[in-house]
Amino acid sequence: MTVQLGQIAPDFEQDTTQGRIRFHEWLGSSWGVLFSHPKDYTPVCTTELGAVAALKEDWDKRNVKVIGLSVDPVDSHHGWEADIAETQGTAVNFPMIADPDRTVSNLYGMVHPEADPTITVRSVFVIDPNKKVRLSLTYPPSAGRNFAEILRVIDSLQLTDRHKVTTPANWTPGEDVIIAPSVSDEDAKAKFPGGWKTLKPYLRLVKQPV
């Protein structure tokens, strides 16, 4: 199964390091980041889990719940978490899904047909409060994930959900944004009374709305 953007994220019930959860119920009205690891005790993923744990305040202020996944059982996850706390200086403060039967991995297309069928690829899914998948990324085994970029995309998604704007290349919060093409100049006058800069009729830059 391949999960497409805009689809409802598949629901599941599975054991985690913080007890058994039903995914949609656990998410509630929050945004979610689900990210997978090929197996426990892998070096790149050890650094990633520590990095995600260190960003707890950043996730919280965006109303984001994070959850990891590995195909190993819960007892193995707990042992790995001890290593992560020791080597990364931050205890894992979010649940890790145990997926030894590959239920979740198969629901989300995390087992690549040309890879080892016993391990998952390194995927990331950003899910909104309506349970829709808004971003999916797949990383190679050798490159650690950039969670600053994932936070940046969540900032963009949350901003553009509130206002009829889009964000340009390399945008960071506070920079100018683009008025959505669906907004006419007449409507834009009401929405953006401070005015905007027109580079082309289809490219209108405006200060980021609050």
Assign 3-class secondary structure to 94-119.
CCEEECCCCHHHHHCCCCCCCCCCCC
The string of DSSP codes covering 145-198 is --HHHHHHHHHHHHHHHHSSEE--TT--TTS-EEE-TTS-HHHHHHH-TT--EE
Note if 45 is an active site residue. Answer: yes
- 27, 33, 45, 206: the catalytic one is 45
Query: Which value, to the nearest 10 degrees, does the dihedral of the CA atoms of residues 91, 65, 127, 141 take?
Result: 0
Chain-centre distance for alpha carbon 112: 20
Neighbours of 106 (CB within 10 A): 14
Cα separation of 151 and 146, whole Å? 9
Give catalytic residue positions: 45
